Amino acid sequence: MKRTVFFLWMSVGLLAGCLPALGQNPAPAIVPAPTPAPVDSTRQVRSAADTIPAFNGPTIRIGNSELTAEGDSLVRAADTVLVTRGQQDRMHKIIPKQATIRSLILPGLGQAYNRQYYKIPFIYAGFGVMGYLFVRYRGLAKQAEDGYRLLLYGDESSGTAQKVEEVVIGTQIVRSSQTAKAYYDLFRRYRDLNTLLSVVLWGVNAVEANVAAHLKTFDLSDDISMRLEPAVIPMPGTGLVPGVRVALTFK
């Protein structure tokens, strides 16, 4: 009985000592972070990567381009950089087929298309020589033909055939119809040969324009490379033999 009373007394004492502490606000163990201030979402901080300056004028120049204001945005205007004659020549796209067709239509036109004007005088000089020789040998062949007829049949211009002892062919005096016939065949062959050479020169002119156009468009950049690769080479009588292969890469 005494023990029960003692425990009750101790319980009441402890309860009385804790009542004043329950009336106070205890300090929290973890202090919360302060609540951030509200931010207006309509105001955005401008990106650091955006380096276009703000302006109020009609245009602004950045590098070689001009920017114009259109509403609230910037629109790139047409590039006003002038291109030099050398840059125009480098931008000239050469098509070998076009150069060949132009040369077949008119000699020298393909060379002009390739911008190789210095070749045109040589082409027409060749045609001039061929034309001169053609006219000359055609005239000599006509003289030899007339001389052959005069020596063989005589002069019939007066109505009666008069015998002719000699004729002049070029700078040569001919007294035989057989000799006149030989001169005629010789000069005729030279005349026909110049006609054939003129046709050949026309074809060479077209081929040259095509080759020059291909050389102008040939890729000489660093993309062309060569490398060595191991390979197995079949050899007759010995079978497969290890070797080295050279590989050229054209890009």
Chain segment 165-191, per-residue pLDDT in tens: 888 888 888 888 899 999 999 999 999
Assess if residue 41 is contained within a domain.
Answer: no
> Is it the case that residue 105 has pLDDT exceeding 70?
yes
What is the rounded distance in angstroms from the CA atom of residue 247 to the CA atom of residue 226? 6
Q: How far apart, in Å, are the Cα atoms of 9 and each of 2, 17, 18?
A: 11, 13, 15
Measure the CA angle with vertex 39, ends 34 and 45; round to 5°: 120
The percentage of residues in the chain with a pLDDT greater than 90, rounded to a whole number, is: 33
What's the whole-number mean pLDDT along residues 73-87? 52
Assess if residue 9 is contained within a domain.
Answer: no
The two structure tokens encoding residue 121: 């005088």
* Pair (176, 234) in one structural domain: no
Q: Does 84 or 111 have the greater pLDDT score?
A: 111
Q: What pLDDT sits at residue 251?
A: 52
* Pair (102, 182) in one structural domain: yes
* Pair (122, 228) in one structural domain: no
Please give the residue range of the domain that contains residue 241. Answer: 220-251
Q: What pLDDT sits at residue 223?
A: 56
Q: What pLDDT sits at residue 131?
A: 94
Q: What pLDDT sits at residue 47?
A: 47
Assess if residue 44 is contained within a domain.
Answer: no
Assess if residue 157 is contained within a domain.
Answer: yes
The two structure tokens encoding residue 104: 């077949």
Report the domain count for the chain. 2
> Is it the case that residue 19 has pLDDT exceeding 80?
no
DSSP 83: P
> Is it the case that residue 154 has pLDDT exceeding 90?
no
Q: What pLDDT sits at residue 60?
A: 56
The two structure tokens encoding residue 82: 């002038």
* Pair (212, 224) in one structural domain: no
Q: How far apart, in Å, are the Cα atoms of 32 and each of 25, 35, 94?
A: 17, 9, 76
